[in-house]
Amino acid sequence: MGAPSTLIFLVLAAICATINAIPTISVVGSKFFTSDGDQFFVKGVAYQLVEDDPLVNTTQCQLDATLMQQLGANAIRVYHVDASADHAGCMNAFAAAGIYLFVDMDSFKTYIRYESVSSWTANKSASYRAVMDNFQQYDNTAGFFVGNEVLNVLADSGAAPYLLSAAADLKSYRDAKGYRKIPIGYSATDTAVLRPMLQDYLVCRPNVTERLDFYALNSYEWCGSTPDFQTSGYIGLQALAEDYPVPIFFSEDGCNTVPPRTFNDQAAIFGPQMVDTWSGAIIYEWIQEMNNYGLVSYGPQVGPDVNQGSTIIQGFTRQGVPTPVSPDFSNLQQQWKTLNPTGVKSAQYAATVKTTPPPCPSSTAGGWTVDPGAPLPTVGVGAVSAGMPNGVPKGSITVDPSAARTPSPYTSLSVSALSTSLAFSTSQTGSTYSSTVTPSSMTSSTASAATSQGAAGRTVYGPPSFKDAGLMITLRYLSEMDVVDLTIHEKDNSEFRFGKIAATRSKYWVKVKR
């Protein structure tokens, strides 16, 4: 190689090395810090334009990153990515806008779930490692999620050790490969009956390698402009987070049951009531969809006669110039503009911080079933917990039961009883269809007891074609604190939307992959 070509090569190498140059994120005690020594507070948006991977279209990422920067966002959360794809263009676009990535490592086939089979296997480990291999090279990769809403009720507690198995496995792999210590955490359902035990269990073990690096919560408690820190329930969340030994933040936030969304909870999260404990929030979500959580749209919704393709899903265009949804976008923008906590410097904090893991929650019959002293399961170990009863109901969505299907990662239906009457209606015909569905794993006596407890007349709505589509629902018990806001995605991209049930505290998706 001659001198001129060598010089060109070195210049290009230097340019490539600095394209993604942005301070990295790490964990010290219960806080995030940048490599510059500044405390990092998450102001994020959930970003999943397309089902499989939104980080492969560089032009689209550049358009979105520009508007996110105007919004005041410094992070995105992406739920599914293709580990074999090239993400350099999008990651560099977001880095240039000062935006970091929290990425879920699972796929529709590899998510950790409560089942009677292994929850953490060699194949899943390899898949998660591939995601890490791909994204560890980017300075703006802020964290990995090993799971999302895996546990939704106490009956799911046997799955908790598998989350720690995954985290321990991936932390060991990360360190063995010499990668930057990118934090690894979990995104939990905001279920009151489960939250205290799960939150503590994931950080309580004596060996620090068997603890999460951070914990996050999907919470939709603060709805509308009327609630405050006390009445919203945030005072309870804050009480549970006091003295938590790792960073804790909202991985989904932004209730939409009382439009427009005012995002008043941001003043509590980034203000004196919570800022010393919580590390920010990720707002659900960037794109406008049928669920009406979007901050931006890429054009008006189109009718069913328009050809549905990769850029139009459920009638919503998924690429192009993003346009703010009014007034939600500007409401959030104004909140974030006035909320700029500085926190502490890492050197000052590290010199004085003393974090102590909480006691592991005790195992109780019919409640939290995890033995606090039991070793974590290893890769490939079957059976979630020998102590779990055989009749624990499981939730699932089955499409055309006569054929084998790939299960969805979002198969837990948040309802208030094991047996619920579902009414399917349409505004076009006024027809109503009703049926009662119960888990296939329930005994008749259990089903009867569940029916007597009842769902207090909870009703969901959808088109009669739901019944005709051959979808079969089995429900799993969830606490009274949780309710449903479901969307079922079909192969042809049609969508069946189910309205809210009772007072919404959480929203759930059901996605069926053909």
DSSP string, 311-366: TEETTEE-SSS-EEPTTHHHHHHHHHHH------BHHHHHHH----PPPPPPP-TT
Q: Look up residue 427 and give its two tokens.
A: 């505004």
Return the amino acid letter for 472: M
The pLDDT confidence band at residue 307, using thresholds 50, 70 and 90, is low
Q: Are residues 51 and 153 in the same domain?
A: yes
What helix, strand, coil percent values describe the chain, rounded to 5? 25, 20, 55
Residues whose CB is less than 8 angstroms from the CB of residue 225 and which lie 6 or more positions away in sequence, other chains included: 258, 262, 264
**Worst-scoring range by mean pLDDT, 200-204, 359-363, 450-454, 490-494?**
450-454
User: pLDDT tens digits for 255-290?
Assistant: 999 999 999 999 999 999 999 999 999 999 999 998
**235 lies in a domain?**
yes
The pLDDT confidence band at residue 332, using thresholds 50, 70 and 90, is very high
**506 lies in a domain?**
yes
Say whether pLDDT at 402 is over 70.
no
User: pLDDT tens digits for 105-149?
Assistant: 998 888 887 665 557 889 999 999 999 999 999 999 999 999 999
The pLDDT confidence band at residue 163, using thresholds 50, 70 and 90, is very high
Q: With pLDDT > 90 as the criterion, what percentage of the chain qualifies?
A: 59
For residue 416, the model assigns a pLDDT of 28
Return the amino acid letter for 258: V
**373 lies in a domain?**
no
E runs forming strands in 395-484: 396-399, 420-425, 432-437, 471-474
User: pLDDT tens digits for 35-80?
Assistant: 999 999 999 999 999 888 999 999 999 999 999 999 999 999 999 9
Would you name the residues annotated as active-site residues?
149, 252
pTM: 0.74
User: Is residue 337 exposed (0-12), middle (13-18) or buried (19+ Cβ within 10 Å)?
Assistant: exposed
User: pLDDT tens digits for 333-345?
Assistant: 999 999 999 999 9
The pLDDT confidence band at residue 514, using thresholds 50, 70 and 90, is very low
Say whether pLDDT at 462 is over 80.
no
CATH number at residue 255: 3.20.20.80
Number of domains making up the chain: 2
Q: Which residues of 362-393 are buried (b: 16+ CB within 10 A; e: fewer)?
A: ebeeeebbbeeeeebbeeeeeebbeebeeebb
**241 lies in a domain?**
yes
Q: Are residues 149 and 250 in the same domain?
A: yes
For residue 113, the model assigns a pLDDT of 77
Alpha carbon distance 130, 135 (integer Å): 9
Smallest CA-to-CA distance from 370 within 359, 362, 358, 380 is with: 362
Smallest CA-to-CA distance from 55 within 17, 25, 89 is with: 89
Residue 296 backbone phi and psi in degrees, to 5: -140, 160
For residue 21, the model assigns a pLDDT of 86
Identify the domain containing residue 50 by its residue range.
23-352
User: Is residue 276 exposed (0-12), middle (13-18) or buried (19+ Cβ within 10 Å)?
Assistant: middle
Of 325, 352, 379, at which residue does a domain stop? 352
Beta bridge partners of 420: 437
Say whether pLDDT at 400 is over 70.
no
Say whether pLDDT at 304 is over 80.
no
**83 lies in a domain?**
yes
Alpha carbon distance 350, 348 (integer Å): 6
Q: What is the mean pLDDT of the chain?
A: 76
The pLDDT confidence band at residue 81, using thresholds 50, 70 and 90, is very high
**376 lies in a domain?**
no
